[in-house]
Amino acid sequence: MNKTSETGRFCRPLSRGLLLAGLLLFAGSLPGLAPLGGPAPVLAAEKAAAAATASIPDLVERLSPTVVNISTTRVAKNRLGREFKQQGMGSGFIISGDGYIFTNNHVVDKADKIKVKLSDGKEYDAEVKGKDATTDLALIKITPPVELPFARLGDSDRTRIGEGVFAIGNPLGLDHTVTAGIISAKGRVIGAGPYDNFIQTDASINPGNSGGPLFNLAGEVVGINTAIVPGAQNIGFAIPVNMAKSILGDLKTVGKITRGWIGVTAQDITEDMRQNLKLKDRTGVLVGNVAPGDAADKAGIKTGDVILGIAGKPVKDNRELLQIVATLHVGSKEKIRIFRDGREMTLPIIIAERKDRQEQASGSGTSEQFGMTAQEVTPEIAKYFGLPEKTGVILTEVKAGGPADEAGLKPRDIVLKINTLEISDLKDYSEALAAGDKGEALLVLVRRGKANFFVTLKKAKEEKK
């Protein structure tokens, strides 16, 4: 076997130029801002900032032993069929004394061998206990002879924008590097998948930090560092730790994730729809299709209903519906709140299991790589646009700077045909976008208003790791 070694730094492209990377999103404290007024508040702010900054070294000293370096090796083949060893690196953090470790799925995916190095220099072989590509999370396990120090998992829902955070990781192989900053934003959707809900931080990020912890100033993990915007400065993303906590049990016991499913296709409510339906605001989602025999159908949900909440949680939009339902236990009996014929009502529903490739809501029937979101044409949409039912899919979002935007596509465009395939639903649409080689241009027939025209979409080429 050819022993040529290639180093993978886990920098994978996401939509809009985002990269999954061995990345660290570290945030720390900022000086408190003084309110308008005299000099006394400024002095108080300086003292508070000094106290917060002084606490970080103590936290780093205590928490560094909970952070690990991860190195991976896998045997791959080049274009000539020759084998070579591909090596990669990343970070992780210990979550229990018996050696369970959280990291990113893309750090350990397809690895033939995984090595974990502790802060004291000791190394252990690791095995993957469970992983989930959809959320990019993985649980690995080492077997130490003694109990290990472990990180405490915090509550990412309670984090606040502007809050100081910091991280420890393995950027570019520089183990236990510490970076600090703040939480810049929450709930970011970056095109990584249907459950996007990232914490954004202004921390410096580099390859090798993926899977490392983002700590708050109480010493709790609030995020798992995952992605950056390449070419930008101080824009990085972490998976909220609550998402990791919600799937930990499944990862540990069965090795994969079981998600809830109700069997509807829905869409966000436009202002025109709100007025037509006589809703007080645009909160909720409009049901465009109910899968026969599925959970929603059995509960009595109908096309044209507006879902306002489920399991005691309000539903703001389509993506939120997907995220809430995914966290519900299969078989659990819940209440779903809907609006129908001018009044609200509540129906009982039993949560089903989401199977592979099932789409809970319109936002999941998308091609993230093209920077656009598509929705099936419902009877209401067909009537509004004067179309026959089951004609194409409608674009509900086109991300600025993405391939769809560059091709001239706009929200409310109807996709009728891709290459030679007539599009009648999301299944046709997804299959047509998935066909073809990387870099190949797709010819797309679009209707805008009363005019039909063609555009070309070029599939993005994969970048080398």
**CATH number of the structural domain spanning residue 308:** 2.30.42.10
Q: Are residues 288 and 168 in the same domain?
A: no
In which residue are the tokens 């252990």 written? Answer: 124
Query: Are the C-beta atoms of 272 and 412 separated by less than 8 Å?
Result: no
Query: Are the C-beta atoms of 190 and 226 separated by less than 8 Å?
Result: no
The tens place of each residue's pLDDT in the chain, 465 residues long, gives: 444 333 343 434 444 445 555 433 333 333 333 333 334 344 444 444 444 444 889 999 999 999 999 999 988 877 777 888 888 899 999 999 999 999 999 999 989 999 999 999 999 999 999 999 888 999 999 999 999 999 999 999 999 999 999 989 988 888 899 999 999 999 887 766 677 789 999 877 777 889 999 999 999 999 999 887 776 677 889 999 999 998 898 899 888 888 889 999 888 888 888 888 889 999 999 998 888 889 999 999 998 899 999 999 999 988 889 889 988 888 999 999 999 999 999 999 999 988 754 443 333 344 445 778 887 776 666 766 667 766 788 887 787 777 888 888 888 888 988 888 888 887 788 888 877 555 567 888 888 877 788 888 875 443 333
List the catalytic residue out of 210, 362, 364, 430: 210
Catalytic: 250?
no
CA Rg, the chain, in Å?
24
Q: Are residues 110 and 165 in the same domain?
A: no
Catalytic: 125?
no
Q: Are residues 372 and 444 in the same domain?
A: yes
Using the 3D structure, point to which of 184, 206, 239 is the last residue of a domain: 239
Read out DSSP for 343-364? Answer: EEEEEEEE-EEPPTT--SSGGG
Q: Are residues 60 and 80 in the same domain?
A: no
Q: Are residues 48 and 161 in the same domain?
A: yes
Strand partners, 180: 166
pLDDT in the model for residue 55: 84
List the catalytic residue out of 136, 175, 196, 428: 136
Residues belonging to the chain: 465
Within-domain flag for 301:
yes
List the catalytic residue out of 15, 29, 106, 428: 106
Within-domain flag for 331:
yes
Q: Are residues 61 and 75 in the same domain?
A: no
- Here the tokens at position 239 are 């998976």
How many other C-beta atoms are found inside a 10 Å radius of the C-beta of residue 416?
A: 18
Query: Are the C-beta atoms of 44 and 122 separated by less than 8 Å?
Result: no
Q: Are residues 137 and 218 in the same domain?
A: no
Residue 204 burial (10 A CB sphere; 0-12, 13-18, 19+):
buried
pLDDT in the model for residue 302: 92
Identity of the amino acid at 239:
I
Residue 28, domain extent: 6-65+151-239
Q: Residues with Cβ < 8 Å from 302, sequence gap 6 or more?
A: 287, 290, 340
Residue 189 burial (10 A CB sphere; 0-12, 13-18, 19+):
middle
Using the 3D structure, point to which of 141, 173, 199 is the last residue of a domain: 141
Catalytic: 106?
yes
Within-domain flag for 146:
no
Domain count, the chain: 4
Q: Are residues 300 and 196 in the same domain?
A: no
Query: Are the C-beta atoms of 116 and 69 separated by less than 8 Å?
Result: yes
Using the 3D structure, point to which of 353, 378, 408 is the last residue of a domain: 353
Q: Are residues 59 and 156 in the same domain?
A: yes
